[in-house]
Amino acid sequence: NHVSIGSDIWNGNSAVQIQPPNGPDDQPMMAVPAPIVIMENVEITSASGRGIVNIDGGHVTIRNCYVHDCAATGIYVGGPGSRAQMERTDVVRNGNGNTTHRRGIARGHSGVYLEQGHASIVDCNISQNSLTGISV
């Protein structure tokens, strides 16, 4: 279970974050090879933020996983070139917020939020999330 002192989900408060390193200008270094992560048979939860964040060109495969009860979005994909492949994964009961960590996180987040990039979702259970199952 992930718990962080902060509640700023826009600046890294997540159980897992996949992203290229930032350069001296605090922008993602796109010239380096994209980070590639394979998560298999993993349980993810976050009482104070998002579950899995894949941004700025990262590539993630999420297979046979259980992403649940995150205060904010269960799986977030954003930024040009980002890719997420989800297979046989349960994404449930995310986005219900919290009131116990600093300022708290308001209720109303999705199970999967695809802001930018590409996602493939195959044979997954995405249900019982606060806002929507999948937001695009």
Instruction: Using pLDDT thresholds of 50, 70 and 90, give the confidence band for residue 61.
Output: very high
- Residue 11 is predicted with a pLDDT of 62
Q: Which two tokens stand for residue 97?
A: 């917020």
- Residues near 130 by beta carbon (within 8 Å), at least 6 away in sequence: 94, 95, 96, 97, 107, 108, 109, 110
Tokens coding 117: 């990039």
Lowest-pLDDT range, 12-16, 94-98, 119-123, 127-131?
A: 12-16
| Helix H or strand E segment including 121 | strand 118-122
| Rounded CA separation 62/85 (Å) | 6
pTM of the model: 0.88
Q: Are 73 and 27 in contact (CB under 8 A)?
A: no
Beta-carbon count within 10 A of 55 CB: 22
User: Which residue carries 């600093």 as its tokens?
Assistant: 102
- Is residue 119 within 8 A of residue 98, CB to CB? The reply is no
Lowest mean pLDDT: which of 40-49, 58-67, 78-87, 97-106? 97-106
* Amino acid at residue number 37: V
Tell me the pLDDT tens digit for each residue of 21-33: 888 887 777 667 8
d(CA 87, CA 101): 32
Helices (H) and strands (E) in the chain, counts: 0, 13
Q: Quick one: tokens of 69?
A: 């009860």
Task: Using DSSP, state whether 9 is helix, strand or coil.
Answer: helix
